[in-house]
Amino acid sequence: MKLISLLENTSHAPEIQSRHGLSLYLETAAHRIVFDFGPDDTFLHNAAELGVDIAAADLAFLSHGHYDHGGGLPAFLQVNDHAPIYLHKNAFIPHWSSATRYIGLEQSLKTSPRLHYTDGVTHLGDGLTLISGAPGHRFLASSCAGLQMEQADGSRLPDDFSHEQSLIVEEGDICLLVAGCAHTGILNIMEQAQQVAGRPMTHVVSGFHLCQPSRGIHEPEETVCAIADELRRTPARYFTCHCTGMPSYEILRRELGAQVSYLSGGMQIALATG
């Protein structure tokens, strides 16, 4: 199984462009998958530099309804004419980070026949399962405060992240969890994933939402250390990125050592157990 970071806040090589956002490419025995699209079409430039043919992808997933993961969706639809795109049924609810800053998806896309809406647990076959609505309240990020979702009457409520979904990929001994920002808490999502898969994750790829750079918010060191203590108890290898933030990543690396790595744009990883 091969994982390539098409786009992230940082770049692994000078020819790879960086943006605030995330886009991943995953190649399994059965599928070529794009997971998230970044904020614009930059992931296409990077894919070409990395030798990834986006037009040949046969499945795509959107983790949640924020622009930094779904802003590149129109570009994907233009380049790829066949891959179904799975996203949560609430992904197109308008999302805001302040009174005037819209951070949601392009609303004109929501009736596209290419989009397939999900809810709860969705088994897709070939070892692929989508999960959403993670229960539990362990270490919910304070950096999510201020994010809002618009109601039908135009009023706004705190974002409940009901639009967030994660992907479980099972292939042989590998049980991989791919999440976008883990707004509902990476520990809660992992617990749900283990219950659905019936076994622990061997690999986890996700931002942990331990910061909100635009507002200068970072989770306290004691919170990051407490999360690291929980992650240490699992057999998983962690590849984190994007909304984890470098200050929090450095704490995680100090606490977890080689169990955690940072996934910069352009990095390519062959996933294996053992």
272 pLDDT above the threshold of 70: yes
What pLDDT does 100 receive? 87
The hierarchical CATH code for the domain 2-270 is 3.60.15.10
pLDDT digits (tens, 9 = 90+) for 108-137: 999 999 999 999 999 999 999 999 999 877
- DSSP output for 151-213: -TTS-EEE---TT-EEEEEEETTEEEEE-SS-TT-HHHHHHHHHHHHTS--SEEEE----EEG
Tell me the pTM.
0.96
User: Would you place residue 274 in the very low, low, confident or very high pLDDT band (cuts 50, 70, 90)?
Assistant: low
Residue of 92 and 139 predicted with greater confidence:
92
pLDDT digits (tens, 9 = 90+) for 85-116: 999 999 999 999 988 899 999 999 999 999 99
Between the alpha carbon of residue 141 and those of residues 22, 73, 224, the distances in Å are 19, 27, 10
- DSSP output for 249-267: HHHHHHHHGGGEEE--BT-
What pLDDT does 170 receive? 98
What pLDDT does 139 receive? 77
Given a contact cutoff of 8 angstroms between Cβ atoms, the answer to whether 217 and 143 are in contact is yes
pLDDT digits (tens, 9 = 90+) for 158-167: 999 999 999 9
179 burial level (CB within 10 Å; 0-12, 13-18, 19+): buried
Place of tokens 């009901």: 162
- 260 — phi, psi (to 5°)? -130, 140
